[in-house]
Structure 1
Amino acid sequence: MSGAHNPRHASRPSRVLTVALPIGLAVTALGMLWAIADVPAAAEAEVPPAPVVAAQLPGVDVGGVIAADPCADPGVTDALAADDDEAAITAFGGGAAFRDAVVAGNAPCISLSDPARIWLVVNKARPLAPLDFEPAGLDGVDLATTTPSDRLRTDARDALGGLARDADASGAGVIGINNGYRSYNLQVSTYSGFVAAEGVAGADEGSARAGFSEHQTGLAVDVVACEDECGDIDAFGSTAQGAWVQEHAWEYGYVVRYESGATGTTGYMPEPWHLRFVGPQLAAAYHEGGYHTLEEFFALPAAPDYAH
C-alpha cells in the first residue's frame, strides 16, 4: 500500500462560537476537556503491536513473526523448473538454510519423497513412488567394478570419480565399486537371494526390499578397496580407503548412509561401503552439523522396520 497523504483526512478550519457561561459551569466544562485530552495517550498504549514481517514474501506465522517462504523466490522456482537441484539449494541460502526451511515446514515446493531429487529420503517407512521408479541420466562409472551394476546418475558418477582420484592421489589407495544402480527387478532378485540364505529377518538387516532401495535411485553406490584386485565390500571399513572415505566423502557430495550405532534409526547394520549422493551443499551441512543419518538431518521418524 502507498504511504501517500490522503486529502480526505486533512484538517479543516473550524468556526469559533463564543458563548457566555456562568463561572461555575465554565470551570466544570474546562475540567471535562482536560480529562478528555488524556484519553488518546492511554488508549494508544493498549494497542498491541503489529506482527513483524521478515520479508515481503508469503510465509508462515511463527510466534507473531511471518517467516519468508523461500519457495516464492524466483531463484528457487527457476532452479526447480530447470531440474537444477544445486542451484535451488543455493537459492535457499545454502545447505543449512535449505535443511532448516524443510524441517520448519516452510518449503512447500520441496518434497523429500521426490525420487528425481538429490534430497530424496527413502527408507523402510518411505518407499519410492512409484515402486518401480527408474532414474534418468544413468551412465557407467570409469572405475574398477566387481559386478555388472556399474551405472549411476551423471552427477553422482562425476562426484564419485573425483573422490576416487583424490583418494588414490592422497596415498589412501584405489577405490572401485561393487554396486551402483539396481533396477526394481534386479532388487527383487537381490533381496530374494538374501532371504533364501538368511531368512527374512536377516535379509532385512542388510538388503532393501524392491521399491525401498537407495540403489534404485541411481544415487547410491557400494565401494570397495582395490589394489592388484578389488576386495570384498565387507572388508572395506578396515582399509585405508575406508578410513579416507569416512573422513572425506562429504567433500564430494556423499554421506556414509548406514553408520555404526545408527541401526535403530535406519534399520540396517553398519555399511561403511554404502555411500549416498546428496550433493556438495547438503553433504557439507550434514557434516558440519554432526549428523549421522538422513532421518536425523531432516527431522524424520526413525525407520527400523517395514510396516508389513
Structure 2
Amino acid sequence: MSGAHHPRHASRPSRVLTIALPVGLAVTAIGALWAIADRPAEADTALPPVPVVAMQLPGVEVGGVVAADPCADPVVTDALAAGDDEATIVAFGGGVAFRDAVVAGNAPCITLSDPARTWLVVNKTRPLAPLDFEPSGLDTVDLVSTTSSDRLRTDARNGLSALARAADVSGAGSIGINNGYRSYDLQISTYSGFVAAEGVQGADQGSARAGFSEHQTGLAVDVVACDESCGDIDAFGATAQAAWVQEHAWEYGFVVRYENGASDRTGYMPEPWHLRYVGPQLAAAYHEGGYHTLEEFFGLPAAPDYAH
C-alpha cells in the first residue's frame, strides 16, 4: 500500500511509513494514520519530531522485495481450515491473484502437492502422496456412463452435471462419461492392460501409472458423446460436443488437461475427452490467461517422462 502524504501545515515534520500488510491488518493501519492526521492544530506544536519508521509486518521476500503474505490473512486461513478451496482462492483476490502468489513463492500455506485440493498438480514427475491416496466425498455422476467408474468428487460431479446440461441446451448434443474416479488398485489394472497391449512406451503415452493418475484424485473425468448411443472416447475429438467442451468447459470449473500440441509438457498424447476440475476461479484465470497446461499455469517444469 502506498500513497502521497500531504501534511496540513508546512512546519509539520514528514512522517514516512513503509508497510507490507496482510489484508486483514490494513484497516488497523489506515485507522492509525487517520488518527495522526486528525490531531488538532494546537496539539501539533507539542509533538516531538517523529522519526522515519520502517514497519515490517509478516511477509515473504520475493525478488528482494517483501510482499504482503496473503497466508497471514485470517480470511485465507479460515477458508483453508474449512476445506473450502473456492473461498480460499477468493480470499486471495481471485484466480489470477492466487496463481500469481503461488508462482512468486509468496503463498507458503499453499502446496500444489495436496491431493485433497483442487489446485493439485499431478503428473509424471509429481506423484500423489501417498501413492494410494483415496479421496473423500465421492458421488455418482448423474450422466450416462459407459463403465462402472462413474464417481467424482462432489464439486467436480456438480460442475460436470451443469456442463452437460448446458451443452445439451446449446444444441451441441448429449455428454456422458467413460471414466471418472479410479482407485489405486484399479489404476494398476488399467495401466497393466495398456502395457500388455502396447508395451511400456506405448502405455505411458496414454495411461498413467498408479499413483500418478489424475483419475485417482476424483477430479478428472473422460467424457464421451452420447447422441443415439455413446461413442468411444477416441472418437470424441471429432464431435460437436468436443468443440463445445473446448470452448466452454472453463465456465464450469474444468480445463481440457491434455491438449493437442502439449505432449512435450504433459507427457501424454492429446486427449480432448480428459477434463480436469480446478474450480471456477482457477478455470477462469487459466482460460483468460491463454494457458494450455497446468504446468505452465503454475510455473512448473514440463513433465514428459517418468524419472524412473
Q: Same-fold call, TM > 0.5?
A: yes
Report matched runs for 1:53-132 at 5 Å: 53-55=19-21, 57-62=57-62, 65-132=65-132
Secondary structure, aligned partner of 1:90: helix
Residue 281 (1) aligns with residue 281 (2): yes
Matched with 1:226 is: 226
Deviation at residue 64 of structure 1 after TM alignment:
5.3
Matched with 2:49 is: none
CA deviations on 1:110-145 (whole Å, 9 max, x unpaired) are 010000000000000000000000000001000011
Q: Which amino acid aligns with 1:173?
A: G
Q: Is the 8 A contact 2:253 2:279 kept in 1?
A: yes
Q: Is the 8 A contact 1:265 1:304 kept in 2?
A: yes
Secondary structure, aligned partner of 1:111: coil
Matched with 2:173 is: 173
Which consecutive residues of structure 1, in runs of 5 or more, have no partner in the other structure?
1-49
Secondary structure, aligned partner of 1:166: helix
Secondary structure, aligned partner of 2:295: helix
Matched with 1:154 is: 154
Q: Which has the larger radius of gyration?
A: 1
Q: State the alpha-carbon separation in 1 of the partners of residues 292 and 131 from structure 2.
A: 26
TM-score when normalising by structure 1: 0.82
Secondary structure, aligned partner of 2:301: coil
Q: State the alpha-carbon separation in 2 of the partners of residues 111 and 62 from structure 1.
A: 17
Which consecutive residues of structure 2, in runs of 5 or more, have no partner in the other structure?
1-15, 23-56
Change over 3 Å in CA distance of 1:121–1:63 after alignment to 2: closer
CA deviations on 1:134-169 (whole Å, 9 max, x unpaired) are 000001000011000000000000000000000000
Q: Is the 8 A contact 1:149 1:182 kept in 2?
A: yes
Matched with 1:143 is: 143
Q: State the alpha-carbon separation in 2 of the partners of residues 238 and 54 from structure 1.
A: 52
Q: Which amino acid aligns with 1:55?
A: L
Secondary structure, aligned partner of 2:147: coil
Q: State the alpha-carbon separation in 2 of the partners of residues 71 and 216 from structure 1.
A: 28
Q: State the alpha-carbon separation in 2 of the partners of residues 84 and 113 from structure 1.
A: 17
TM-score when normalising by structure 2: 0.82
Change over 3 Å in CA distance of 1:147–1:73 after alignment to 2: same
Percent of matched pairs sharing the same residue: 83
Q: Is the 8 A contact 1:52 1:64 kept in 2?
A: no
Q: Is the 8 A contact 1:80 1:88 kept in 2?
A: yes
Q: State the alpha-carbon separation in 2 of the partners of residues 62 and 188 from structure 1.
A: 42
Deviation at residue 55 of structure 1 after TM alignment:
1.8
Q: Is the 8 A contact 1:145 1:176 kept in 2?
A: yes
Matched with 1:215 is: 215
Secondary structure, aligned partner of 1:205: helix
Deviation at residue 228 of structure 1 after TM alignment:
1.2
Matched with 1:248 is: 248
Deviation at residue 53 of structure 1 after TM alignment:
2.8
Q: Is the 8 A contact 2:62 2:106 kept in 1?
A: no
Report matched runs for 1:191-202 at 5 Å: 191-202=191-202
Change over 3 Å in CA distance of 1:69–1:270 after alignment to 2: same
Q: State the alpha-carbon separation in 2 of the partners of residues 159 and 150 from structure 1.
A: 14
Q: Is the 8 A contact 2:150 2:181 kept in 1?
A: yes
Secondary structure, aligned partner of 2:287: helix
Q: Is the 8 A contact 1:266 1:303 kept in 2?
A: yes
Q: State the alpha-carbon separation in 1 of the partners of residues 242 and 139 from structure 2.
A: 24
